[in-house]
Amino acid sequence: MTHQHLIILKSLLAAAFICLAALTACDTSIKTDQALIGEAIAPTGTTAAPSAIFKIDTAKSQLTWIGAKMTGRHNGVFKIQEGELHLSDSILTGGTIIIDMSKVRADDKTIDKASNEKLTKHMRSADFFDVEKYNKATFELTGIAPYDSAKAKPNTPRTTTDNALRVKKLTHLITGNLTIKDQTKSITFPARVTLSDNQLKAKANFNIDRTQWGLVYRSDKSLGDQTIRPEVNIGFDVVAIPQAN
């Protein structure tokens, strides 16, 4: 191999390394559990009255989002307006959560206050949630089953950051109808549900495809670096306490 050929080979290897590093750096996708999305589940008829109703403590509960562009991520919070969870013989059987979409906001510590305010305004606009027209979103629990880790799909390799998002010690698979902008789809996702010290807690983290609810702004991959990934990460940590008689 001549000296000139060696220089060319080194240049090609260097270019390949740069391209690989760039591809790795641009993998902004959030690698966590993927919610199963399907058609809305119709009510099955009359259901037995719950033996106990727990009201969601909105001050102690949190509902978060992470959205990813091709060049980075942003995160923020949704505001739980109110909600209740139904139990029969200490087993979670149903419930409803109402989200005040007019309060959705960016809460990204990697950008300044003005940038968060700009992002918040954009999210509330017609490009995304159009909160002046659709100021509420709802989640109605329609089914719950024990989580069987043996039947769960193998976990996707995660970065250190994404591994921190993943909920440990999962106990249940939760299914419910999620309504956003008057469009309803069922979603199924794993969660950890516990009842202790007269508190009902539910914790989960999963991705959903926003385009299933008509949220298609810049989801087309042909836009290149301007693309906003259709997958949105949702995290919730709900605390509920017995409803006062």
pLDDT digits 0-9 by tens, 87-137: 999 899 999 999 999 999 999 999 999 999 999 999 999 999 999 999 999
pLDDT band at 1 (very low <50, low <70, confident <90, very high): low
Distance CA 149, CA 155 (A): 11
The number of beta carbons lying within 10 Å of the beta carbon of residue 206 is 25
Longest dimension (CA), the chain: 88
Mean per-residue pLDDT, 184-210:
96
Nearest-angstrom CA–CA distance, 202 and 176:
14
What's residue 8's pLDDT?
A: 42
Other beta carbons within 10 angstroms of residue 116's beta carbon come to 18
Question: Token digits for 149?
Answer: 């880790």
Please check the confidence at residue 23 and state whether its pLDDT lies above 60.
Answer: no
Six token digits for residue 224: 């290149």
- 51 neighbors 203 (Cβ within 8 angstroms): no
Q: What percent of the chain has pLDDT over 70?
A: 84
